[in-house]
Structure 1
């Protein structure tokens, strides 16, 4: 009795299909479950642990292989492994509706967590509860994109929430220490820096520092006189009693306190995290590198129980 054994068949189990369309043709590769995302995230580097077989298919389910001519036309190479890597990088992972929903829910909760950690209610300076952010995003019909980075989507979510609820990025607390003769110039340049950021939030640090440099040259003679006054007035210990708000709101910078003690001065700032590099460059430029900028708190919020009247 003869038994027919198809030796040219390879049974694939636990298959995750990655599909890509190019030059009017469909190409698929067979991968292991959960390994595709690990490969794209960089946590898996062994291609053999990702691909079930280094072969390009026209249809994995039917076992139809893609022709060598189509592979070369679409990917510029006849090497199956190289074509598989391109499909793995650019292709779309085929998952069931249930798996897709689980992944989207996980991504959504991750974004909500990031938004909660990075923002506060500007009216109370307290972070929002996770449930409030989650409901606000659902009401705003925020669309989750599974292939995009969670941090980028969290920033987009913050912009969307500003249209419906009072929310802003939590500010950082920074301490600036410099010579008292630079005191007034530092405050003036920080104010100019924040005005520039308020009118042009997308400006880069290089442009801000160049503008600050031009302002320094224009006001050089004027500031020399002010520096002399500051130096003479700092012979005794001095502490300002009035806060000097440079700006308020998201992207703002506020001087929480400033103190001149002899020839040294200390300025405590509340700044948006996006301004930290620009503040450092501005201070060091004014003080000719003879200053220090230290971050005291990554997130300045009000703690304790809130009293509801």
Structure 2
């Protein structure tokens, strides 16, 4: 105590690790889907896969950093990917025209819908969550604040019943 260090018992340390791991598993389950079926994995499957991959929680990192590390590790053991976001980008054709449209479409995984409304272009896109900021800055800078970026769905997941 005189050196300013607080000793933590083994049970307390294990409890902290378990709660951190549980938080990471739930985050991965919320953020990721099976790429073939577009359906989410259950927390128990993710937890088992993390144990099979010998994932260990790093206590000096926050939950988000550990979650991203877990997703990278899971990719080697399980078909998994981040669920895509659905965005709607709107801007006047004269603002960025073909150049802005071309840049935004390159960053998107798929273009679901493209529509011209008078002189305004509306694009509905599916993107990886890591591309959101890039697209936001691109639209804001190219249109000088006149473009519009709407988040339609935070994660694109198929939640239908399967018949066996």
**Residues 153-210 of structure 1, C-alpha deviation per residue, up to 9 Å, x if partnerless?**
0110000001111111111111111113445322311245x3xxxxxxxxxxxxxxxx
2:91 touches 2:143 (CA, 8 Å); kept in 1?
yes
Structure 1 equivalent of residue 159 of structure 2? 303
Distance in 1 separating the partners of 2:121 and 2:153? 20
Secondary structure at the aligned position of 1:256 is classed as strand
Alignment gaps of 5+ in structure 2: none
Q: What do residues 220-245 of structure 1 show as CA deviations (whole Å, max 9, x unaligned)?
A: xxxxxxxxxxxxxxxxxxxxxxxxxx
2:118 is the alignment partner of 1:268: no
TM-score by structure 2 length?
Answer: 0.88
Query: What TM-score do the two structures reach when normalised by structure 1?
Result: 0.49
Q: Does 1:292 align with 2:148?
A: yes
Change (3 A) 1:123 1:303: same
Q: Is the 8 A contact 2:89 2:149 kept in 1?
A: yes
Q: Does 1:140 align with 2:56?
A: no
- Give, in whole Å, the separation in 2 of the partners of 1:303 and 1:191: 27
2:139 pairs with one of 283, 286, 294 = 283
**1:119 aligns to 2:32 (yes or no):** yes
CA RMSD between the two structures: 1.9
Q: 1:99 pairs with 12, 15, 18, which one?
A: 12
Unaligned runs of 5+ in 1: 1-28, 30-55, 58-86, 195-245, 247-252
| Displacement after TM superposition at 1:123 (Å) | 0.9
Contact 1:180 1:262 in 2 (8 A): no
Partner of 1:62: none
Q: Secondary structure at the match of 2:149?
A: strand
2:45 counterpart of 1:189: no
In structure 2, what is the equivalent of residue 16 of structure 1? none
Confirm or deny: 8 A CA contact 2:34 2:80 kept in the other structure: yes
Paired residues of 1:178 and 1:265 also in contact (CA < 8 A)? yes
Distance in 1 separating the partners of 2:80 and 2:31: 10
Match of 1:39 in 2: none
In the other structure, the counterpart of 2:114 is 258
| Residue in 1 that maps onto 2:80 | 167
CA offset digits 1:111-154 (Å, max 9, x no partner):
10111111111111111001110000000010112342111101
Alignment-derived partner of residue 78 in structure 1? none
Q: Secondary structure at the match of 1:285?
A: helix
- Equivalents in 2 of 1:284, 1:96: separation in Å? 52
Q: Which one has the largest radius of gyration?
A: 1
SS in 2 for 1:94: coil
Contact 2:105/2:111 (8 A) holds in 1: no
* Secondary structure of residue in 1 paired with 2:90: strand
- CA separation of 1:127 and 1:183: change in aligned 2, threshold 3 A: farther
